[in-house]
Amino acid sequence: MKAEVINPFLESARTVIQQVVQVSPSTGSLGVKEIQPVEDHIWIQIDMTGHFSGMVIFGLQEEVALRIVSAMMGGFVLTEMDEMGRSAISELGNMISGNASTILSNQGYVVDITPPKVIQSEGGQAAPRKALCIPLVMDGIGELDIQVMIS
């Protein structure tokens, strides 16, 4: 795994969150983490091909996703992750990934990304996978994990 791949996603996530959620996130510690299904979590998965093959997953607790979506919608409070909420959180992943792929392109890397998939989990039996992970902490909202798995 290449640590420098995560930096464009980190830079993009900080910028996009600041613009659409009106919060300046702080960065946690970079590390390797086992990713596995967890109850009450939402993942936004974007697959990548090109210079880097793999995926980026934005992971967050459902209540954090609801706070983000509510902020994106000008303060309209959502109490459950409905179709509108899934669409909004998917668009957040799309904006972050699109900006990150532009940054990678400007650095000379050709990377194609897929539209985001929003995955909600009730827990599961999937085998854990290792990912390069860095959390973004948003005051008053919660944490968003950026997880990069490159083959």
Tens digit of each residue's pLDDT (9 = 90 or more) over 38-55: 788 999 999 999 998 899
Distance CA 142, CA 89 (A): 15
- Per the listing, tokens 């904006």 go with 95
Between CA 140 and CA 63, with CA 41 as vertex, the angle to 5 degrees is 30
Which CATH number covers residue 123? 3.40.1550.10
**Domain span at residue 31?**
3-150
Q: Is the pLDDT reported for residue 125 higher than 80?
A: no
Average pLDDT over residues 2-13: 85
Regarding beta strands 111-113 and 31-35, do their DSSP bridges make them parallel or antiparallel, or are they unpaired? unpaired
79 near 66, Cβ under 8 Å? Answer: yes
Digit-coded pLDDT (tens) for 99-117: 999 999 999 999 999 999 9
Q: Is the pLDDT reported for residue 127 higher than 80?
A: no
Angle between helix 83-106 and 6-21 (nearest 10):
130
**The total number of structural domains that make up the chain:** 1
